[in-house]
Chain A
Amino acid sequence: MHGTGTLPSGGHAANPRASDAEDRAAAAALGAERAQAAQPEPDFWPNVHAPDAARTVTADVARLAPVGRRHALLVFLSNPTAVAGLLILAVVVGAALAAPVLFPDDPLEMAGRPLQWPGQNPRFPLGTDALGRDVLAGLVHGARVSLLVGACATLAGLLAGILVGATAGYFGGVVDDVLSKLIEIFQTVPGFILLIVLVAIAQPSVPAIALAIAAVSWPQVARLVRAQFRAIKEKDFVAAARALGFGHGRIIFREILPNALPPVIVLASVTVATAILMESALSFMGLGDPNVVSWGSMIGTGRDLLRTAWFLSAIPGVAIVLTVLSLNLIGDGLNEALNPRRGGEG
C-alpha cells in the first residue's frame, strides 16, 4: 500500500504526512473490518475460504473458470484462421447439398456449345468444357463426390484405426506386438501405390474408392490411438476403474477413449483433406468412378487442353486447394483448442 508511488523506500520518510494519512486510513479500514467481523455474518473476502468449508460459495467461484469443452470451443472460435477454414468448408458443403436443386440435370450431359470461356455466356458462368458440359455444374456436383469420399474414408479409417490402436495400446504384450507389426506392414507399402492396386482390383465405384482410401489411412490413426492408450492406461483413474470391477471393454470405451480423442479429432480433419486429395488423384488418372463427375476427373479431362483452355483444369484445381486448405486450417484450430499444453483444458 505504501509503495504505490515511484519513490522507493525513501519516499516514505520524505513524505511523512501523506504516509500518516495512509496509515490512518488503513487503520480506519481495519477497524471497520473488525467491526464487521464482530457482526454475525462476516462476509468480507467472500471468495476466500477453506476448500472444504461447508459453504456453497465455492461453486460460484468454480463456475467462473471456463468448463473444458466450452473453453475449447471459445478458443477455436476466437481463432480467425480456423473460422476462415470453417467458412470455406461451409460454402463447399452448402454447394454439395444444394447441387441437385441448383443443377438438377446430369452434369455429365452436354449443356451447350463446347469450350466457352468463363464470363462469355451468362448461362455458363464458369464456361463449358470440350464436350459442352457446364463447368459450374460439374464443380458443384464434384463437391458431393469429394466430400462424400473424404468423409466416408475418414470414418472407416477412424473406426479401423481406433479399434486396432486401442486394442494394441490397451492390452500390450503379444497383442501389441502383432498389431504393431500389422500397422508397420501397411506403413511400409507406399500409400498411393497400394490405393491404385486396391482400386484396380475392385470395381471403381464411390464406396470402393472410399474403402480403399480408408485402408491406406487407418495405420496413422492406429499409431496415434495406440500411443494415446499406452499413456492413458497408466493413469490413476484407469487403475481406479479396474479396482471398481469394470471390464476391459468398458474401460477402453468409457474411461480411456474419450480422453484419447482430442488429437484423433485433429488428425481426422487432416485425414479428410488427404482423402479428398487421394480421390482427386485417382480420378485424374482415370481410376475414379466413371459415372460421377469429380474434381479430379475434371482436371484430368481438361489436361489435354491445358494450353488453350487452362481454366478447365484451373477451376476444379482451385476448388481442391480451397477445400483442403480449409480442412487444414480447421485442423490447426482444433489442435490449438484441444491441445492441453496450450491451455485448452479437457
Chain B
Amino acid sequence: MAPLIDVRDLSIAFPRATPVRGLSLTVAAGETVALVGESGSGKSLTALALMRLLPDAARIASGEILFRGRDGAVTDLAGLDDRALRRVRGRDIAMVFQEPMTSLNPVLSVGQQVAEVVRLHEGLSRRAAFARAVELLDLVRIPEPRRRAGDYPHELSGGMRQRVMIAIAVACAPRLLIADEPTTALDVTIQAQVLDLLDALRRDLSMGLLLITHDLGVVAEWADRVAVMYAGRKVEDAPFETLFGAPLHPYTRGLLAASPRLDAGQHYSAGALAEIAGSIASAAGEEGCAFAPRCPNARALCRAAVPALDAVAPGHLVACPVTTSEAQREARHALAVG
C-alpha cells in the first residue's frame, strides 16, 4: 500500500545545530507507527516538522515530506506556502499535544473549541458545528457531552482535557494523527484509556497514527511498527514483533534491557536495572555513529563514518555495521547448515 506520508531524508537545522539528520519515515493509512527515542533525540521536532510548525529559529534544511491527500494527489509539505498549509493542518493532519493542561484555550468552553475547528474546515453553521462538537465529545467517551460542552478547561480533569484535545484533533476525520507523547502528562490509570481511545479512533476513521513516545510499554501494546531514533537519526525501524523479539541495534537492545519487566519479576530490590552507560550528550561532535561512545561493541569502523541503514530483513532496517554483518553471517551460517 502506498504510504500516507513518506518522509525522505529530512534534516532540521537550527543556526548552530542540526538536531534531525537524514530521517526517513513512512506511515500508511490505518497503521500505527511509534517513533521512539530519549529526550533530545529529535522525535518531537520531527512531529512539528511534519506539521510545518517548527520554532522560528529552526528550518527544514533538506528532505521531502510527501503527503497523500484525500484525492490521492501527493504534495510535498516541506514546500507548501502558509495558506495551503492551513488547509492541511487540522483537516488532513492533526496533532495531539503532550500537555493537556495547557493545550486548551482557558477562556473558551470546550464545546466552542471543538466547534471552531469544524466551522473552519467544514464551513458548518454555528448551531450545526456545536451539535457536531457534542457528537465528537460523545465519540471520545466524555460522559454527558451536552453538559460538558459548556464547561471551561479548568473545570475538567487532565484525562478529560486530553479527550477534548483528541476530539478536536479528529473533528475533521484527518488522514494522519500525530500524537506527541499523548499520555506522558497523565495518570497511569488514564494512560491506557486514552491510548485505547486513540487506537479505536484510528481503526474507525482508518487514520495513520504516528505515536511519539519514550514509553516502550506503550509501543509494545499499540504500535504496528517502531522507528527508534538516536541523536537525530533513525537507528532501527522494524515491525514491533521483530523489534521486541530480535532487536539488532545495540541502542535498541540497551533500551529493551533497561525497561523493567513485571513478568520477569524484576524489582529494584533485586538489584539495579540495566542501563546504557553515558548520556546522549556524548553524541555531540561525533564523527561516525552517534551511539559509538556508549556502545559496548563499538569498533574502529563505527567512528569512521555514519552507518547507513541496511535492510537485514524485509521491513527491518538497522544502522549498525557491526550487528548487520553479524546477522548476515548468522543468516549465511544458517543457510549453510540447513
Contact = CB atoms under 8 A, between A and B. Distances in A.
Contact of A239 (B53, B91, B154, B155): B53
Interface stretch (A87-95, A218-226, A243-251, A315-323): A243-251
Contacts of A54: 141, 143
A243 B99 CA distance: 14
A258 B154 contact: no
A259 B107 contact: yes
B102 A235 contact: yes
B318 interface: no
B94 A244 contact: yes
A245 B102 contact: no
Contact of B120 (A173, A244, A255): A244
B88 interface: yes
A56 to B, nearest CB: 6
A51 B90 CA distance: 28
B127 interface: no
Contacts of A185: none
Nearest to A69: B107
A254 B187 CA distance: 31
A259 B152 CA distance: 14
A240 interface: yes
B86 A51 contact: no
A241 interface: yes
A255 B189 contact: no
B46 to A, nearest CB: 14
Nearest to A240: B103
B70 interface: no
B62 interface: no
Interface stretch (B157-165, B222-230, B301-309): B157-165
Contacts of B85: 245
A237 interface: yes
Interface stretch (A2-10, A32-40, A59-67, A329-337): A59-67
A56 B143 CA distance: 7
Interface residues of B, number: 45
B87 interface: yes
A55 to B, nearest CB: 7
A259 B106 contact: yes
Interface string B137-171: 00001011001100110111111100001001000
Given A51-B190, A236-B103, A245 B158 contact: no
B90 A52 contact: no
A317 B30 CA distance: 76
Interface string B224-255: 00000000000000000000000000000000
Interface in B162-213: 165, 168, 187, 189-190, 193
Contacts of A245: 85-91, 117, 120-121
B154 A68 contact: yes
Contacts of A346: 106-107
B125 interface: no
B168 A244 contact: yes
Contacts of B86: 245-247
B105 interface: yes
A56 B105 contact: no
Interface in A222-278: 235-237, 239-247, 250, 254-255, 258-259
Interface in B16-57: 51, 53, 56
B10 interface: no
Contacts of B90: 243-246
A19 interface: no
A106 interface: no
Interface centre among A58, A239, A244 (most CB of B within 10 A): A244
A87 B159 CA distance: 45
Contact of B53 (A65, A68, A237, A243): A243
A177 B95 CA distance: 32
Interface string B72-92: 000000000000011111110
B120 A236 contact: no
B97 interface: yes
Contacts of B105: 237, 241, 255, 258-259
B104 interface: yes
Interchain residue pairs A-B with the least CB separation, the first 3: A51-B157, A244-B90, A245-B90
Interface of B: 51, 53, 56, 85-91, 94-95, 97, 99, 102-108, 116-117, 120-121, 141, 143-144, 147-148, 151-152, 154-160, 165, 168, 187, 189-190, 193
Given A51-B158, A245-B88, 9 more contacts: A50-B190, A52-B157, A56-B143, A58-B157, A67-B152, A237-B104, A237-B106, A244-B120, A246-B90
26 contacts: A51-B160, A52-B159, A52-B160, A52-B189, A55-B143, A63-B155, A67-B152, A68-B106, A173-B56, A237-B104, A237-B106, A239-B103, A240-B104, A243-B51, A243-B90, A244-B117, A245-B87, A245-B120, A245-B121, A246-B86, A246-B90, A246-B116, A247-B86, A250-B120, A258-B108, A345-B154
